[in-house]
Amino acid sequence: MKAYKDMSRDELLSLKAALEEEYRTAEAKGLSLNMARGKPGASQLALSMPMLDAVNSTSDMKTILGNDTRNYGDLDGIGECRRFMADMMEVKKDNVIVCGNSSLNIMYDTVARSVAFGVNGSTPWCKLDQVKFLCPVPGYDRHFKITEVFGIEMINIPLYEDGPDMDLVEAYVNQDPAVKGIWCVPKYSNPTGISYSDEVVRRFANLKPAAEDFRIYWDDAYCIHHLYEDQQDNILNILEECEKAGHPDMVYIFASTSKISFPGSGISAIATSPANMKYIMDQMAVQTIGHDKINQLRHVRFFKNIDGLKEHMRKHGELLRPKFEAVLDTLEKELTGLEIGTWVRPRGGYFISFDAMPGCAKAIVGKCKDLGVVLTGAGATYPYGKDPKDSNIRIAPSFPTPEEMLEATKIFVLCVKLASIEKLLEE
Amino acid sequence: MKAYKDMSRDELLSLKAALEEEYRTAEAKGLSLNMARGKPGASQLALSMPMLDAVNSTSDMKTILGNDTRNYGDLDGIGECRRFMADMMEVKKDNVIVCGNSSLNIMYDTVARSVAFGVNGSTPWCKLDQVKFLCPVPGYDRHFKITEVFGIEMINIPLYEDGPDMDLVEAYVNQDPAVKGIWCVPKYSNPTGISYSDEVVRRFANLKPAAEDFRIYWDDAYCIHHLYEDQQDNILNILEECEKAGHPDMVYIFASTSKISFPGSGISAIATSPANMKYIMDQMAVQTIGHDKINQLRHVRFFKNIDGLKEHMRKHGELLRPKFEAVLDTLEKELTGLEIGTWVRPRGGYFISFDAMPGCAKAIVGKCKDLGVVLTGAGATYPYGKDPKDSNIRIAPSFPTPEEMLEATKIFVLCVKLASIEKLLEE
């Protein structure tokens, strides 16, 4: 295929005419497809339906230690669920607090707590003139929204295929005491799908923060969300690496079963050092009397252990794989060689990230919308919703069927082509 | 019976000797009873076990409107659950946001939000030199703990049998712009069991706050928690009264099913004006992707409607009544006429509040503890844990069996008598 940039104006104009014809045909179809959010599809939800029988009216509602899950108690989660989440997060049970139905809520609370009360005794951030967070980009819009509402200044850090630009991370963290945190999705990153290399994890663990209250916000949202059995990303254990490096308190790890059991009806957890846990638990004791322990019991009784969980995730992978492949194969078939976009082929997670020619993302999303295909808003993957290059688009293949994904992706590439030609003709 | 204060020193000493004999007998029994927290008893928890079958692997998981409860969406709660909680809280569905498993958590978040972001556009409380809350006393320790951790100054307001001292409330609220809130448990108050009179509710609704961001924190924790079918307290609808008085935004109402279905696995809700709801929802959208909608569905499918709920609460009342009566009858039988303590006979809720002679509460709780009967710590019902008179003791009769409650109360009155005599002999 000839790269668009090497085409003559006439070639572009003639191609544009042909694409516009395709566009009108697509428009006539009146499609309604959504690739906007990482929602599990109906077949995935069906996988977890038997979980709703795992605890019923005849169940023994006591934990292994004999605590009644139906009553108050076990603020840090029931023992067997702490074990279960620890195994999933590859940490020790003693480092885990099991919380409510949303890891996003734990992240929000963790930032909110730091703003109001400080971090393990440091000055509350609300008393400081300036608080900054590093934001590897493209990243997760809901992370950025949390730091935004608290008025925390966000600094873009380029995200490469092996992780964030660590030279830049080190420069900021080790020199600027206003830098209090960094948002990370270390495995099957949202949205690019990349996983951090061992070297990147080690460099994280060996940061020498200028701020004592600097923390790594390690959102391990996709820790066991593999697409393939034989090609799985593995990342180093950041908590262990931080301990080794003499910074046991430097990281909070977050995870949930939102995309394992049911979004909104799963369980979430935070894994961190004993000192951090104590500080969190002291605050949490004021915030709530406890989390939903029956749901914790339901999860453990259903999944049984890490092996049960892995088998369950294998089934999720089987359902997701054709959807990802429908997108990726179409992108490859239709766009390879045209030099109007790049993407990474992820081995897990929930997203595919597409980098269009600079200045084209908004136009592509707009055209898709006009044809009935809803994408995440352009810019959403950047702090303040501002993609400086107007280039990145997040594709969420999980919710539609594989057939719908194929149809939606055909629309997507059509719009990429058209928007790119329009851009080139403008120049 | 002769009042202790009218007894001679010799009479007191001889009574003391007899009571000390009883004390030693009790000590030898090595009891272990807990009247400390408002935990439902095992028979109450059993009432809700069938709820665990209300949603199972064969259930239709869609709401009446067709939304899938297993996936993201419905941030303000599923429609039928908003209706259900609205009926319970005696407000309109459009005024209700259904949240997670804990109304305490909503209250914490509501205060936290005001501290960080302000109230509907007002100055965030963290930017103010002084923020004050009024605290009717005795009251709920966990309310006071929330305001305490945020450094909010708490002002004691006497709570009478018809509600807080409204002259004092009006004086503070209408004149001091630093007064931003008041904690209320309007029905079957924690711990005194009293309910606010219509006049008190109307005076609340007609407050003319000096602070635009003043709100009434109306914790309707025991809204349908009656002990008797034929003697139920009813309170005026504060939201309606505030609307009538031209202050629709002045109140947040909180409630949950923690003591209806399962503590920790129930659902909670906030009811308030449209303007307040919008502000809350905007913040909540950053904090979480949504609450546990399957649990919302489970509740609605089990209780069906307000009639089902009332029938369920009638059963709770039947189980709780003998426990309350064991305490109250023993107090009456053993203490009437002695003038060493006062209490109110509640018609609902979870607590009995006992006012000992000034200076005796700590001693009584200590003696009970030594005999194996755990009570809520003396002072816990006051801000900062400081009961200025060292007089109030909260009794929670729900968890032990009626027989255990009887035994525990006998210990309690023994300790009340002994501590009172010791106090009188000191003087």
CB contact under 8 A, B289 and A142: yes
Burial of A372 (0-12, 13-18, 19+ CB in 10 A): middle
Under an 8 A CB cutoff, do A70 and B264 touch?
yes
Cβ proximity of A357 and A327 under 8 Å: no
**CB-hemisphere CA count at 13 Å for B29?**
16
The alpha carbons of chain A give a radius of gyration, in whole angstroms, of 23
For tokens 């971090």, the residue is A119
Between CA A66 and CA A80 the distance in angstroms is: 11
Contact B291 A59 (CB under 8 A): no
pLDDT for A427 equals 80
SS3 B126: helix
Task: Note the pLDDT tens digit of each residue in B151-165.
Answer: 999 999 999 999 999
Measured between alpha carbons, how far is A365 from A381 in angstroms, rounded to an integer?
13
What pLDDT is stored for residue B1 in this prediction? Answer: 78
Instruction: Judge whether residue B406 has pLDDT over 80.
Output: yes
**Contact between A116 and B112 using a beta-carbon 8 Å cutoff:** yes
Interface-testing mutation among B58, B109, B286, with chain A (most A C-beta atoms within 10 A): B286
Q: Do B291 and A101 touch (CB under 8 A)?
A: yes
| Cβ(B110)–Cβ(B228) below 8 Å | no
For residue B295, the chain A residues in CB contact (below 8 A) are 265, 292, 295
The beta-carbon neighbor of A49 closest among B52, B57, B105 is: B57
Q: Which pLDDT tens digit goes with each residue over A75-93?
A: 999 999 999 999 999 999 9
pLDDT level of residue A239 (50, 70, 90 thresholds): very high
C-alpha to C-alpha distance for A53 and A315, rounded to whole angstroms: 19
What pLDDT is stored for residue B297 in this prediction? 98
Return phi, psi of residue B147, to 5°. -65, -35
C-alpha R_g of chain B: 23
Structure tokens at B373: 């009967």
Distance from C-alpha of B24 to C-alpha of A168, rounded to nearest angstrom: 72
The confidence score (pLDDT) of residue A176 equals 98
* Sign for the pseudo-dihedral over CA of B130, B135, B137, B142: negative
Measured between alpha carbons, how far is A89 from A256 in angstroms, rounded to an integer? Answer: 9
- Closest partner residue to A102 (CB to CB) among B42, B71, B288 is B288
Read off φ and ψ for residue A133, nearest 5 degrees: -125, 140
- Residue A156: name the closest of A175, A137, A132 by CA: A137
Q: In angstroms, rounded to a whole number, what is the distance separating the alpha carbons of residues B87 and B304?
A: 12
* Residue B25: band (very low, low, confident or very high) from pLDDT cuts 50, 70, 90: very high
Question: Which pLDDT tens digit goes with each residue over B336-364?
Answer: 999 999 999 999 999 999 999 999 999 99
Note the pLDDT tens digit of each residue in A358-396. 999 999 999 999 999 999 999 999 999 999 999 999 999
- pLDDT attached to residue A309: 98
What is the dihedral sign for C-alpha B1, B3, B8, B12? positive
> B72 and A263: CB-CB below 8 Å?
yes
The answer to whether the beta carbons of residues A419 and A363 sit under 8 Å apart is yes
Contacts B292 to A, Cβ<8 Å: 100-101, 264-265, 292, 295
Question: Which amino acid type is present at position B72?
Answer: Y
pLDDT band at residue A421, thresholds of 50, 70 and 90? very high
- Cβ(B215)–Cβ(B250) under 8 Å? yes
Q: What is the DSSP letter of B257?
A: S
pLDDT at residue A1 tops 80: no
- Residue B384: how many other CB atoms lie within 10 Å: 12
Distance from CA of B261 to the nearest CA of A (A): 9
Neighbour count for residue A10 (Cβ, 10 Å): 8
Q: For the residues B322-342, what does the mean pLDDT come to?
A: 97
* pLDDT computed for residue B76 by the predictor: 97
Strands (E), A166-229: 179-184, 215-219
ipTM of the complex as predicted: 0.96
Examine the pLDDT at A37 and tell me if it is beyond 90.
Answer: no
Global confidence as pTM: 0.96
B367 to A343, B18, B364, B373: CA distances (angstroms) = 72, 16, 5, 9
Average pLDDT over residues B51-68: 98
- Alpha carbon distance B107, B277 (integer Å): 14
- Distances in Å between the alpha carbon of A166 and those of A160, A190, A334, B408? 10, 18, 34, 64
Percent of chain B residues topping a pLDDT of 70: 100
Whether the CB-CB separation of A37 and A376 falls below 8 Å is answered with yes
Contacts of A52 in chain B (CB under 8 A): 55-57, 59, 294
CB A218 within 8 A of CB A186: yes
Q: Among the residues of A176-236, which ranges form H helices?
A: 198-205
As a whole number, mean pLDDT of residues B230-239 equals 96
| pLDDT, chain B, mean | 97
Max Cα separation, chain A?
78
Distance of CA A55 to the CA centre of its chain: 30
Pure H helices in B290-371: 293-303, 306-335, 361-370
pLDDT confidence tier of residue B270, bands split at 50, 70 and 90? very high
Please name which of A212, A160, A225 lies closest in space to residue A397, comparing C-alpha atoms: A225
* Backbone angles phi and psi of A354, in degrees to 5: -120, 125
**Residue B159 near residue B194, CB atoms below 8 Å:** yes
A400, pLDDT greater than 80: yes
What count of other Cβ atoms lies within 10 Å of the Cβ of residue A14?
12
- Compute the distance between CA of residue B77 and CA of residue B97 in angstroms, rounded to an integer: 6
| Mean pLDDT value across residues B262-269 | 97
User: What's the whole-number mean pLDDT along residues B275-285?
Assistant: 97
d(CA B14, CA B160): 36
The rounded distance, in Å, linking the Cα atoms of B345 and B94 is 36
CB contact under 8 A, A70 and B283: no
Please report the pLDDT score of residue A172 as a whole number: 98
Chain B interface disruption, residue of A286, A293, A301, most B CBs within 10 A: A286
The pair of three-digit structure tokens given for residue B68, joined into one six-digit string: 């899938």
CA dist., res. B378 & res. B362, Å (int): 5
Q: Does the structure show a pLDDT above 80 at B409?
A: yes
Q: How far is B34 from chain A (nearest CA, A)?
A: 14
A278 pLDDT higher than 90: yes
What per-residue confidence (pLDDT) applies to B87? 98
* Peptide bond preceding A138 in cis form (omega within 30 of 0): yes
- Measured distance CA(B176)–CA(B185) in Å, rounded: 23
Does residue A410 surpass a pLDDT of 80? yes
3-state DSSP helix/strand/coil % of chain B, to nearest 5: 45, 15, 40
